[in-house]
Amino acid sequence: MAPDQHRGRSGPTHPTMKHVAARAGVGLSTVSRVVNGDPHVSAAKIEAVHRAIDELGYRRNESARQFRTGATETVGLVIEDVTDPFFSQLTQSVEDVARDRGSMLLVASYRRENDRARQIVHALSARRLEGIVVTPSERGDVSYYASALQSGLQMVFVDRPAPDHIADAVISDNRASCRDGIAHLIAQGHRRIACLSDRAHLYTTVERLAGYKDALAAAGIPYDPALVHSSVPDDGQHRVAVSRMLDSENPPTAIFTCNNRATITVLKALSLRREKPALLGFDDLELAGSLTPGLSVIAQDPFAMGRIATEQLFQRIDGYRGPARTTLLPATLHSRGSAERGPEG
């Protein structure tokens, strides 16, 4: 009997490994090996099993005894990079709310790998967590988020919007914040403003670059693609791009960095140069006020972001079933000196 038919007349039935095996066209033992992380399975079969799991909304009930009525709630946090200062602060905030609730928190990072993100979500779902706060991956098929929601896992997205607005999300107002930040540089007299960002396909990059362009357009300054560079901030390309721009015949007099890792990379590159352009970063840094001059930044509030997202998650766990909400949080410009000098230096 096909899995959809099996849901039949007496009400819906949770899909089992047998259903997954039938949908994937593999043996039951193969499904078991895939869900248990056995590396000795062909890539084609792994893909077939994961696709069947996504389509059926299968959740392995390996820890049901730990989650019977009266047990301590457990929630998860899935982030891109646990070493990123932004995500470290967000994690602390989520942990604080979970602790106040008397809940355990499991944290995992997928290190910019979509397949790893999918495996983490499946693993947390299999452990019957009450819900997860998640920064969504942005490459490849992300339908597994919808499948996890359909299987009963509550979910709130953070830093980036939910795919197709399928769940609550808490994000910064990136575009407006960056527009105002670039307008601040323009007010100091800058017309050649470089922009160094994370990967071009990321939601945050798209929004922050849009704010950059908005400010240029409002001031009547032509957009120059030679002043824009997008890549993983810590792979060395940012340093090369900064050197190329500053050594050009018409160099930028100011640099805008779109996240804290890009800012750190640019600070290291500028430390080796005698003449330094004005600098405005997105995301605050712990030592920003200790530099000379102090580092001017557009500061998000990862603590508020994590707190609100976790509070909304517990609202969902407690039974709230209203429409999906997207909460926009403002970012704040902190003027400390690095962005407040004109083109003449």
Q: Is the pLDDT of residue 10 over 70?
A: no
Q: How confident is the model over 143-197, as pLDDT tens digits?
A: 899 989 988 899 999 999 998 999 999 999 999 999 999 999 999 999 999 999 9
Do the domain assignments include residue 67? no
Q: Are 310 and 165 within one domain?
A: yes
Q: Are 278 and 139 within one domain?
A: no
226 vs 228: CA distance, rounded Å: 6
CATH code of residue 242 = 3.40.50.2300
Q: What is the mean pLDDT of residues 283-300?
A: 93
Q: Are 151 and 188 within one domain?
A: no
Q: How confident is the model over 23-71, as pLDDT tens digits?
A: 999 998 898 888 766 778 898 898 898 888 888 888 765 444 344 434 3
Q: Are 309 and 295 within one domain?
A: no
Q: Are 296 and 215 within one domain?
A: yes
Q: Are 179 and 260 within one domain?
A: yes
Q: How confident is the model over 200-241, as pLDDT tens digits?
A: 999 999 999 999 999 999 999 999 999 999 998 877 899 999
Q: Are 36 and 116 within one domain?
A: no
Do the domain assignments include residue 64? no
Q: Are 309 and 291 within one domain?
A: no
80 vs 112: CA distance, rounded Å: 6
Q: Angle at Cα 87 formed by Cα 160 and Cα 166, nearest 5°? A: 25
Do the domain assignments include residue 157? yes
- The encoded tokens of residue 124 equal 């947390």
Do the domain assignments include residue 345? no
Q: Are 253 and 106 within one domain?
A: no
| Mean pLDDT estimate for the chain | 88
Do the domain assignments include residue 267? yes
Q: Are 242 and 127 within one domain?
A: no
Residues spanned by the domain of 167: 72-172+303-330
Q: How many folded domains does the chain comprise?
A: 3
Do the domain assignments include residue 8? no
Do the domain assignments include residue 337? no
Q: Are 289 and 184 within one domain?
A: yes
pLDDT at res. 151:
86
CATH code of residue 52 = 1.10.260.40
Q: Are 295 and 178 within one domain?
A: yes
User: Is the N-terminal amide bond of 163 cis, ω within 30° of 0?
Assistant: no
Do the domain assignments include residue 66? no
